[in-house]
Amino acid sequence: MQKLSRRNFVKTGTVGSALLAVAPSITSAAPKPKTEVWVFKGPDSKALMEKCMETIFANGGFGLKAKTVALKVNAAWERTPEQAANTHPDLVDVFLKRAIGSGVKVVMPEFPCHRAEKSFVASGLQEVADKHEVKMIDLKTSKNSFIEVDIPQGKTLKKEMVSRELLEADAVVNMPVAKHHSGGKLTICMKNWMGSAQGRGKWHAMGLHQCIADFSSFMKPTWAIVDATRCMTSKGPQGPSEDMIYPQQVILSKDQVAADTVAALLFHDDPCGAVPYLAIARDMKIGETDTANMNIHRIDI
Amino acid sequence: MNGAYRLMPKARSFRLAVRLLILAVALFFAIGGPLPVWMERVVPALSPLVLFAESIAQRTWYAGIFWALPPLAVLVLALFNGRFFCQWICPLGTLYSLPQKISLKKKVLPVRLNALIFWIIISSSILGLPALLLLDPLSTFSRLGAWSAWVPGLLIPIFLLLSFFQSQVWCTHLCPLGYSFDLVNLKTGKAVFNRDRRQFLAGIGIGIPAALLLPKIGKKPGGKPSVLPPGATEKFAETCTRCYACVSACPADIIRVKSGGRVAELSMPELRFETGACEESCNLCSQVCPTGAIRTLSQDQKWRTQIGIAKVEKEKCLAWADNEYCMVCDEFCPYNAIKIIERGDVACPEIDPEICRGCGACESACPAMRAGKAIFVHPLKPQQKITGAT
């Protein structure tokens, strides 16, 4: 055993304290915090959504100072709730009730594919919005409500005109229905942003999947809520489809990529292999695509 | 002047008030706006001349009781009161009478040609083609609802201007509807017919060849054939009176006034898919047509009506030519008429002609830019009914 001289004491002491100083960062880096995902499952959609809202408020809600929340549903098509082309109005009903009850003001901007007079009404979402005195904003006709933004991380999509309501809100909630899509493979959260972008038509010519990922590197929701109560597995995004599945789930996360991944597992075993924009999101590190790195809370109701 | 009615000053101003009120209401109907869309039909459907000429031409009583009663009432009124309609109701007549007081009382048009026009319409209608029926004053008035229609729309400004020189020259000298009231008037009819025997003969002499030749004049020199509104009959171009009720009624704003084409197609309504498509759950144009040129279709009938078939131009298509993930045509197709051909991982579109309705959703949404859109609707003539689809 070596004799502890003063010189050695100082040496080891210096190294030791240096190690100690570095240690916390090393120890915390090793077990990386997992991405939280909640999956609420059960036959009663409204009960799922109540639980979902409880979870949101138990995990920071919309932020301490949030006064306005922009809710991006999918209300693009003149299709009934059962046909699963739009977010189910029962879920939106509960969201609006609980969000407004918490004291925030909610707006619902949407750039529909069909005329809003048809799609907002047939989807049942106009009725729910009216019930809670929430404004559904038709971005198709109010074109001056777009603002140009830079997308710093964008590889292909560098600029886009985006709904003013989404940009100006204190918190943004992305609440799509999960469904098959012939060009995008699946529509979930990331793809749902196309309903807030004026230049979306061009994305198809520029490289659809890269653009979806690019845009999601810019638009990140406070909460991503996926309506997977009933889903089209073919003939999306509009349907009608005879290939329906009924997962009876609502999926919640702060990470839209994680929410998309978990929802995509209802359709495909290998989400990143089946949906190109998810693989791009993984490579661009926009969010989590590996379920091993997620804390998935499965809650049956 | 208005020989049949010599009104006291008080009665005169009462009549003026009534006429102005009707003019205002009719303008409101023609322009539409927030009103229920069937009101577009009220003004042009009031003409008994249109009702009879079209029914004769189409060999069918196309108007239901609801829409036939008002023009029949106008006709009965004329049996006993002649031009009562002209003097109290006709909104175009009111418009043309506004400059009456300051009219220069010149003879711009010395001869009456109304009998000639009337008999051309009737004789050509008997041969199945109501030539010149677009001169019907109520269809003319209804055109005010569609400003883009400047060719036939010019009738109103021209005759309003002429009214400053010769008071109500249209009403007294040219209007075929007004003439029909003179003719059916039990008191004056016989004398009027005898007076205008030459024009009767000339009308037949012009009307019959017109009916035979009109569809053949002006070969389309490579012009794009028009896609017509759902319910359009095979003789749509010839039987449409250009009232543009359908143009005003279309909520998607895709029924537009054609420019170019054959003579018989002059300024007819056609579907254009640059900015929108014929919506799956809409049959409004078929409800407002006052002439039967567009047959009334129930929602289900409209849903089964194939007005055209889309065709993919693969060399321009983002999927076929550029290997892009697109399928916007499939996305927007409400009928699932796009078949997906998988090439590697990229889906490419192909049309199922058995299912495609020709609604134009694909054409309006196609985002291809390099060489323009890559999918176009080609009209089906005659339109067909799809029976298998559910």
Residues of A whose CB is below 8 A from B281: 78, 118, 122
- Weakest-pLDDT range from A11-25, A259-273, B2-16, B146-160: A11-25
A115, A184, A239 member nearest B325 (Cβ): A184
Q: What is the pLDDT of residue A164?
A: 95
Is B359 within 8 Å of chain A by CB? no
Return the sign of the alpha-carbon dihedral for residues A193, A195, A200, A205.
positive
HEC profile of B145-165: HCCCCHHHHCHHHHHHHHHCC
Q: Which pair of tokens denotes residue A113?
A: 């594919």
Instruction: Compute the nearest-CA separation of B379 from chain A (Å).
Output: 23
Q: Is A138 on the interface with B (CB under 8 A)?
A: no
Structure tokens at A255: 């990470």
Q: What's the burial of B165, exposed, middle or buried (CB within 10 Å: 0-12/13-18/19+)?
A: middle
Q: What is the H or E stretch that residue A227 is in?
A: strand A223-228
Give the angle subtended at the CA of B215 by the CAs of B213 and B216, to the nearest 5°: 65
The answer to whether A46 faces chain B, any CB pair under 8 Å, is no
CB proximity B334 to A under 8 Å: yes
Q: What is the pLDDT of residue A6?
A: 46
Is A87 in contact with A75 (CB distance < 8 Å)? Answer: yes
Report, as an integer, the average pLDDT of B106-130.
Answer: 92
B331 with A204: Cβ contact below 8 A? no
Q: With a cut of 70, say whether residue A26 has pLDDT above it.
A: no
Å from B26 to nearest chain A CA? Answer: 26
Q: Which two tokens stand for residue B181?
A: 């009231």
pLDDT at B103: 82
What's the start-to-end Cα distance of chain B, in Å? 63
For position B61, what pLDDT does the model report?
92
Distance in angstroms (rounded) separating the CA atoms of residues B88 and B94 = 8
CB contact under 8 A, A276 and B325: yes
Cross-strand bridge partners of residue B271: B227, B255
Question: In the block, which residue shows the tokens 């009549």?
Answer: B15
Range with lowest mean pLDDT among A56-60, B229-233, B255-259, B374-378: B255-259
- Indicate yes or no: CB of B326 within 8 angstroms of CB of A78: no
Per-residue model confidence (pLDDT) at position A30: 55
Helices A89-101, A45-58: inter-axial angle, 10-degree rounding: 30
Does the distance separating the beta carbons of B331 and A238 come in below 8 Å? yes
**The pLDDT of residue B330:** 96
B333 CB within 8 Å of a chain A CB: yes
Specify the residue for token string 């509009």: A238
Q: What is the pTM of this model?
A: 0.88
CB spacing of A182 vs B365 below 8 angstroms: no
pLDDT for B339 equals 95
- Across the interface, of A118, A204, A237, the residue whose CB is closest to B326 is A204
Read off the tokens for B59. Answer: 């060999």
A234 interaction partners in chain B (CB closer than 8 Å):
none
Q: Decide if A115 touches B, using CB distance below 8 A.
A: yes
Distance from CA of B158 to the nearest CA of A (A): 36
Q: Is A115's CB within 8 Å of B340's CB?
A: no
pLDDT greater than 70 at residue A24: no
Q: Which of A122, A183, A205 sits opposite B327 (nearest CB)?
A: A183
Looking at residue A99, its pLDDT comes to 97
Which tokens in the block code for residue A75?
């209300």
pLDDT tens for each residue of B176-230: 999 999 999 999 999 999 999 999 999 999 999 998 888 787 766 667 899 999 9
Percent of chain B with pLDDT over 90: 73
Question: Sorting pLDDT into bands at 50, 70 and 90, what band is B71?
Answer: very high
C-alpha span between B228 and B218 (Å, rounded): 19
Which of B274, B325, B340 is the best mutation test for A, with the most CBs of A within 10 A? B325
A180 vs B: CB within 8 A: no
3-state helix, strand, coil in chain A (%, to 5): 40, 25, 35
* pLDDT, tens only, B131-173: 899 999 999 999 887 766 667 778 899 999 999 999 899 999 9
pLDDT score of B1:
42
- Closest residue in A to B324 (Cα–Cα): A207
At B157, the amino acid letter reads P
Q: Which of B74, B88, B19 is nearest to B45 (CA)?
A: B74
**B368/A contact by beta carbon, under 8 A:** yes
- Phi/psi region, residue B344 (left: phi>0; alpha: psi -120 to 50; beta: rest), is left
A155-199 residue pLDDT tens: 999 999 999 999 999 999 999 999 999 999 999 999 999 999 999
Amino acid A262: pLDDT:
98
**pLDDT > 90 fraction of chain A, expressed in percent and rounded:** 86
Q: B365 touching A, CB under 8 A?
A: yes
Q: Which of B318, B328, B336 sits opposite A235 (nearest CB)?
A: B336
- Are B324 and A208 an interchain contact pair (Cβ–Cβ within 8 Å)? yes
Residue of B279, B322, B347 with shortest CB distance to A182:
B347
What is the predicted pLDDT for the residue at B289? 95
**Shortest Cα distance, chain A CAs vs residue B281, angstroms:** 9
Is a pLDDT exceeding 50 seen at residue B3?
no
pLDDT digits (tens, 9 = 90+) for A40-64: 999 999 999 999 999 999 999 999 9
Q: What single letter denotes the amino acid at residue A241?
A: S
What's CA B94's distance to the chain center, in Å?
Answer: 22
Residue B288 identity: V
pLDDT at B6: 63
CB contact under 8 A, A205 and B367: yes
Q: What is the mean pLDDT of residues B374-388?
A: 91
CB contact (8 A) between residue A205 and residue B369: yes
Average pLDDT over residues A56-83: 96
Residue B356 C-alpha, separation from nearest chain A C-alpha, in angstroms:
15
d(CA B264, CA B240): 10
pLDDT digits (tens, 9 = 90+) for B295-324: 999 999 999 999 999 999 999 999 999 999
Domains annotated for chain B, with CATH where assigned, are 9-216 (no CATH), 305-390 (3.30.70.20)
Closest approach of chain B CAs to the CA of A132, in angstroms? 26
Tokens of B83: 């031009």
Q: What is the mean pLDDT of residues B244-266?
A: 89
Interface contact B329, partner A, CB < 8 A: no
Q: What's the pLDDT score for residue A3?
A: 47
pLDDT of residue B7: 67
